[in-house]
Structure 1
């Protein structure tokens, strides 16, 4: 998925070494995804005060949207550098095409993971048979030793398993080892830093206690709720409303989730705090202003002006339409956002 903001926020994100016992809840801002009727998404990462959770650096949450009203998802070919995109659906179906030649559908229970590396372009379009669209789009920043690799694409199906009252599907990385954990708690897709991405569903009145890797920080994005988040061994209990993101600093070995009168669905994200600076602008992740400027120049020259169809971003075959031009860069150098 692309960041389709006309004035994308520039971010230089310093390493985050904070540790603490509490749960911090972050809201979202609504961003139009584009298209004639501008399907809205709710963005919880990045934002002021929280730019990453582990190597997770971008989270868009959308739906359930009636495609007849919103027009669905229509994202033309656009570039990425220095990251992985993770597409995960609760309802609907999306067709993915990219410049490596990959062509894949993603449906609920399956994950599409695209590694941009040094450069890739792709499109995402909801299929004609999709009437409701509902899911999350996530980005993972690549560390220095992996961000220059050749791009590639992976698709995997996941297997649900029970923990307490919850049904869990792991779609990236691995859930911390516990007595209730099965082989399905590890996703067969490639990661370059220790990560976790999982869907957790509970019925009304349900409770689950999950083992956590204490080296990880974690986030809980609420798709259905609210959910009550409790840290065992403390008196902390925090109610997290729908569409908001709860953050737990590293050092916790377990977390307990409780549903009240309504069923709960959360997306659990985790990872070792990302220890490298990065600059995020539009659909590029780099390490400096000048690097991002060069990414944009190559995209505009090689793809939009089509001066070099064999450039690092390649071409997306099978998409009926033009690629997406990059917005104008800010008139000042990309700088930290506090």
Structure 2
């Protein structure tokens, strides 16, 4: 998914500590146009930019595709990150410049590695009337951020128990391990809880964690960490490292949540639009490379008309005009890492 804000803020991302459960409320961001689908963004936020290497979390739907137009995200670039797509309902078609063409379906994780540079498009299928899911980004460490672009697909088998079900997107949890590759230690999972169900999950004490409630409500207990906290629908709860077990207690409604975690990233990054870099000049170069690639005589052209593939390649089989990069902030430099 592209960050389609026309004036994206520079985001200075650093590992931040904390001793208590922190609740992060979402902000609404339109994906563009008067009938645009609106997403609820909890990462990055004013108070927190990273949970482990997780650096971006958009949560959307359930949306009536006939009313919102669904997801129509034309070719756009990424650098220095991985994208993780997860649907609850609906279907999205993915195409990228590394030649991958795939369907994003509920219960199936698609992970795309941007690395040194990739472009891709995402278009929802109008045959599915409701679109509902989450899009996440993972920042790549300095040792891997110039890696070759790639794509992985995995259908996790649910781990189940009385009143609960868990699907592991990345990493390991409750005895299940996802085969998709990440470049830092991470965990990501969907958890379903029947009303009143309590689920105890052993976790890595060196990880910080985030709990996003999609529907319903729950209380999170952290053994060896912060005290219990209620978390409502659309809220993201942040838990600092130290917990050895998390216990989720569902309220009176059926509850679905995403559990994210990872070791504190330990590197500062600059994230602007769809790029993750390390300083102003690097971001400026990424933007210039994209604009040079998608314009002919100053006009944006469709991928089928491109005369050069450039850093980001050409999205195979997609003929939508690519998304131009917004203007860089005027008169200021994006702050460099310390």
**TM-score by shorter chain over 0.5:** yes
Matched, 1:220 2:218: no
Q: Which runs of 5+ in 2 are unaligned?
A: none
Q: Deviations over 1:230-263 (max 9, x none)?
A: 1236782211110010010001000111112111
Q: Which runs of 5+ in 1 are unaligned?
A: 176-180
Report the TM-score when normalising by structure 1: 0.94
1:279 aligns with 2:270: yes
The corresponding residue for 1:14 is 14
Give the 5 Å matches for 1:112-127.
Answer: 112-127=110-125
Cα distance in 1, alignment partners of residues 243 and 52 from structure 2 = 14
* Alpha carbons of structure 1 residues 304 and 163: separation in structure 2 relative to 1, 3 Å: farther
CA–CA separation in structure 2 for the residues paired with 1:251 and 1:234: 5
- 1:118-197 matched pairs, under 5 angstroms: 118-163=116-161, 165-175=163-173, 181-182=174-175, 185-197=176-188
Instruction: Give the match for residue 95 of structure 1.
Output: 93
* Structure 1 position 131, deviation (Å): 0.5
SS in 2 for 1:231: strand
Distance 1:163 1:253 in 2: 20
Q: CA contact under 8 A between 2:224 and 2:243: conserved in structure 1?
A: no
Superposition RMSD in Å: 1.7
Give the deviation of 1:98 after TM superposition: 0.2
- Alignment deviations for residues 5-43 of structure 1 (CA, whole Å, 9 cap, x no partner): 011111121233x252x2111101000012451100000
Structure 1 runs, 4 residues or longer, greater than 4 Å off: none
Question: Which residue of structure 1 lines up, in the alignment, with residue 325 of structure 2?
Answer: 326
For residue 86 of structure 1, report the CA deviation from its aligned partner.
0.4
SS of the counterpart of 2:153? strand
Q: How many residues align?
A: 328
The SS at the match of 2:219 is: strand
The alpha-carbon deviation at position 56 of structure 1 amounts to 0.1
3-state SS of 2:282 partner? helix
Q: Please, which moves more after superposition, 229-238 or 159-168?
A: 229-238
